[in-house]
Amino acid sequence: MKICCVIVTYNRKDLLIECLECVKNQTFKPNTVLIVDNASTDGTIELVKSHGYYNKVIDGVTFNYLLLPNNQGGAGGFYNGIKTAHESSECFDGIWVMDDDGKPDIHCLQNLVKYLPEYDYLAPLVIAMEDSTRLAFNYHGSFSIKQLIETSDKLTPDYACPFNGILYSRKLVDTIGYPIPQLFIWGDELNYTMRAKDAGFIPHTVIDALHTHPSDRMKVTKSFMGKEVIEVPNKWKGYCHWRNTIFNSKGHWNLYE
């Protein structure tokens, strides 16, 4: 299996280096690691160069650096990364995607790849960086790892944390295409999963493929009417969230339909 790892980064250079170290040390190594930089301004490229990850081959793994002309958000970053990997002459069998603040366990990719011939949308178990007993993102309203494991075997169907250590098959990308870059953030990953499901690709979380990530930053509170409301940290993120939520609820795959 030939795998390309796509890591999207923006102004988190130290976290990026930690992520790259985790990827470099995998027991099953990707053929290529594509670092997609959303026009960082914190010296990311200089730090990557100083650690030897800038367009270099290390232990048989090719590290390539893709610097975007402007910040295109997570959606634009994964659009460019997945597109570049998919259209590469290397003809990768799978694309392993993550943000710069995730840390895959040393056996993560090995435990994902073993299911790739049978499944096309494979996810690791994403554990909260702050508390190893909790999930970073909820599983049917619960953050309990114990509860998820007790209700699953080696694979948990119809559950995944999109773009957090996900392994997509070539067949999946052939079928549904790339993320929609105009979505920018908050909803782009859900959109890609919805499209995958519509095409018959059901996500499966691999219980023994571990990936740590900061806990979900999205907060849900109760309004005075008793309904759940998403708290947004500022106006522009709130705009992206509600715009993308409405867009996804309509089931459109083109933002300008």
Of residues 243, 246, 254, the one with CA closest to residue 195:
254
In the predicted model, what is the mean pLDDT of the chain?
89
Task: Please report which confidence band the pLDDT of residue 215 belongs to, taking 50, 70 and 90 as the band edges.
Answer: confident
Does the model's pTM come out above 0.75? yes
Task: Please report which confidence band the pLDDT of residue 149 belongs to, taking 50, 70 and 90 as the band edges.
Answer: confident
Residue 169 contacts residue 97 (beta carbons within 8 Å): no
Instruction: Report, as an integer, the average pLDDT of 146-174.
Output: 92
Kind plus residue range of the DSSP H or E element containing 175: helix 170-176
pLDDT at 226: 59
68-107 pLDDT, tens per residue?
A: 999 999 999 999 999 999 999 999 999 999 999 999 999 9
- Say if residue 177's pLDDT is above 60: yes
What b-and-e string marks burial along 122-153, b requiring 16 or more CB atoms within 10 Å of the CB? bbbbbbbeeeeebbbbbbeeebebeebeeebe
16-35 pLDDT, tens per residue?
A: 999 999 999 999 999 999 99
Residue 242 contacts residue 186 (beta carbons within 8 Å): no
pLDDT at 256: 46
CA distances from 74 to 18, 26, 170, 240 (A): 19, 24, 21, 12
SS3 115: coil
- Give percent of the chain above pLDDT 90: 70
Instruction: Report, as an integer, the average pLDDT of 191-213.
Output: 95
Of residues 35, 36, 167, 168, the one with CA closest to residue 109:
167
Give the 3-state DSSP-derived string for 38-85, with helices as H, strands as E and coil as C: CCCCCCHHHHHHHCCCCCEEECCEEEEEEECCCCCHHHHHHHHHHHHH
